[in-house]
């Protein structure tokens, strides 16, 4: 049977992937060389190539042959897989939430006037963190004490209020932050200047490490 000719688009894709692989190998080789404190000429001599060629490989200007790849791994004392590890891996897409589009949720214990917008959600089977944008208005009522696993970080963006954690109370103004164990009862106790807007980020540390919270 006659061999099927590759289309121009297929050839272009192949060339692009080859260039990306060459850049990936070169970057990995440079990182490994610098980590071991080796000079270009030292590695080049061990690999059986010129210093100029190694420099071109590290900057992605040349694609290593199989012989060159084998020489590099010997010179660097690594396996071939160490030079190509991670190539082609795709990172997870970021979660983009525009202003006002965060999912509005109602937390247990809150009453009228408390607005929580969830700014991101975990995609895995276990909770890692939850970031909220919290708004308190003139209709807000004082919370009962919240309790939950993990560590909570709050950052006040607007307004003034007093925030209780355990037996201590903290007067917070814009730009102030507070970090604490979520297992200790906490919440606003005095709303001094409205509206109040703050970020609340809960890190479920104990659900990840199965260790008690420590600050």
Domain ranges of the chain: 8-84, 103-209
Q: Which fold has domain 103-209?
A: Jelly Rolls (2.60.120)
CA atoms within 13 A on the CB side of 42: 9
- The answer to whether the beta carbons of residues 205 and 212 sit under 8 Å apart is no
* Tens digits of pLDDT across the chain (215 residues): 455 555 555 555 455 666 777 888 888 888 888 878 889 999 999 999 999 999 998 888 888 888 888 888 888 888 777 777 766 655 556 767 778 777 666 554 455 567 888 887 665 556 788 899 999 987 666 666 788 888 999 999 999 999 999 999 999 999 999 999 998 999 998 999 999 999 999 998 654 444 444 44
Joined together, the tokens standing for residue 132 give 């909220």
Instruction: Please give the CATH number for the structural domain made up of 8-84.
Output: 1.10.260.40
């Amino acid at each position: 049977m006659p061999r099927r000719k590759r289309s121009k688009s297929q050839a272009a894709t192949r060339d692009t992937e080859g260039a990306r692989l060459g850049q990936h190998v070169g970057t990995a080789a440079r990182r490994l060389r610098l980590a071991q404190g080796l000079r270009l000429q030292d590695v080049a001599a061990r690999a059986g190539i010129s210093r100029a060629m190694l420099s071109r490989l590290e900057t992605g200007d040349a694609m290593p042959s199989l012989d060159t790849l084998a020489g590099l791994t010997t010179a660097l004392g690594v396996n071939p897989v160490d030079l190509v590890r991670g190539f082609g891996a795709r990172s997870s897409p970021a979660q983009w939430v525009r202003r006002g589009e965060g999912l509005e949720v109602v937390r247990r214990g809150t009453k009228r006037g408390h607005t929580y917008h969830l700014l991101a959600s975990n995609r895995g089977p276990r909770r890692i963190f939850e970031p909220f944008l919290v708004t308190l208005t003139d209709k807000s009522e004082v919370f009962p004490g919240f309790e939950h696993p993990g560590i909570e970080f709050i950052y006040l963006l607007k307004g003034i209020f007093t925030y209780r954690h355990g037996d201590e109370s903290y007067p917070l103004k814009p730009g102030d932050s507070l970090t604490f164990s979520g297992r200790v009862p906490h919440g606003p106790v005095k709303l001094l200047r409205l509206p109040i807007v703050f970020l609340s980020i809960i890190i479920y540390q104990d659900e990840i490490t199965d260790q008690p919270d420590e600050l």
